Amino acid sequence: MPHATVAVLAAVLAATTLLPGCASGRTTSRSERRAATQPRGFVIAAGERVAVDVPVVTFLDAGGFDARREHRWFEADEILPDRPAAGCDTPRRFSARRGAAPPRTIDELRERLTQFVLHYDVAVTSRNCFRVLHDVRGLSVHFLLDVDGTVYQTLDLVARARHAGASNDVSIGIEIAHPGAWTSRERADHYYAGDGVRLAIPAALEPPRGGPFAPARGGWFEADVNGSRVFQRDFTAAQYDALARLVASLRREFPALREGPPRDGDGDVLRRALPEAERTTERGILGHLHVSPAKVDPGPAFDWARVAAPPN
């Protein structure tokens, strides 16, 4: 924002707040005040409920997903994932955040939480994403964001989830349900037309309602991300709305999350990984692509301006 605009805004604010009798002609009723301050949901951080401006289905709620479970979610008699990712071949999909001492309180967590890492899941629905992460790969993430905008929290924010390598110790991970970005139009067409989507979701799980998804903006988005040309359709409007509310709420609670995303010399959001030394020290909202040169998510369709505007 230009300084002149800031100065004008400051003057207007001063005038409207300091001048006696300068009310807009209406008073705020008690019920309106309550509505304005009533949280729409809560997330769990160091065992405490933190108010957020979006409904959240937590791991404690009916219908939620609990990544603390040390057995498979959909096949509860199995303990270990059958194809664990490297270092993830234990029943536990999470651990304490590493460092001098693991954070235990929300104040300690405030010092340690410095990044959001955004992913798309290529699992198409959050239910299927949780199956793949928890039951198959031995991985985890704090939030799942479904096609219809439902936010699931699967782990307390104090826990170290397994989703983004070295950034796991300092980040909140968010998996956004989406068919992903593909390296050719043919592969993307095949996947988005439904063949890949049908293959991705086991028959036992609910397919996404109303088709795979309805992109917020039409058409294809393509770009070179970490050296690969990739093609992608947009995320849904409900996802952008829920994510913007979640991000804004958590930025109020955890000030170190207010930066970012990283930008290039032209001011565009960076489409390549940060230098290795900066991948864990960079603060704010990042994509998986920024902390891993092998990744492209959340992909060229992701509309950063809708979720990452600087907080007030």
What residue ranges bind Zn ion (CB under 5 A)?
119, 288, 297
Nearest CB to Zn ion, comparing residues 211 and 227: 227
Shortest separation between residue 119's beta carbon and Zn ion, angstroms: 3
Question: What span, in angstroms and rounded, lies between the C-alpha atoms of 261 and 307?
Answer: 10
DSSP state of 98: P
Q: Which amino acid is at 158?
A: V
Nearest CB to Zn ion, comparing residues 41 and 135: 135
On the question of a cis peptide bond just before residue 293, with omega within 30 degrees of 0, the verdict is no
Shortest separation between residue 122's beta carbon and Zn ion, angstroms: 9
Nearest CB to Zn ion, comparing residues 50 and 145: 145
Shortest separation between residue 244's beta carbon and Zn ion, angstroms: 20
Shortest separation between residue 297's beta carbon and Zn ion, angstroms: 4
- 3-class DSSP assignment, residue 68: coil
Nearest CB to Zn ion, comparing residues 42 and 134: 134
Cα distances from 211 to residues 82, 178, 179, 182, 291, in angstroms, run 30, 12, 12, 19, 32
Shortest separation between residue 167's beta carbon and Zn ion, angstroms: 11
Q: What are phi and psi of 145, to 5 degrees?
A: -120, 110
Where are the alpha helices (H) located in the chain, listed in sequence order?
3-18, 30-37, 106-112, 126-130, 185-192, 195-200, 237-253, 288-291, 304-307
Cα distances from 224 to residues 183, 200, 274, 301, in angstroms, run 10, 25, 15, 12
Question: What span, in angstroms and rounded, lies between the C-alpha atoms of 190 and 197?
Answer: 9
Shortest separation between residue 15's beta carbon and Zn ion, angstroms: 48
Nearest CB to Zn ion, comparing residues 119 and 127: 119
Nearest CB to Zn ion, comparing residues 135 and 297: 297
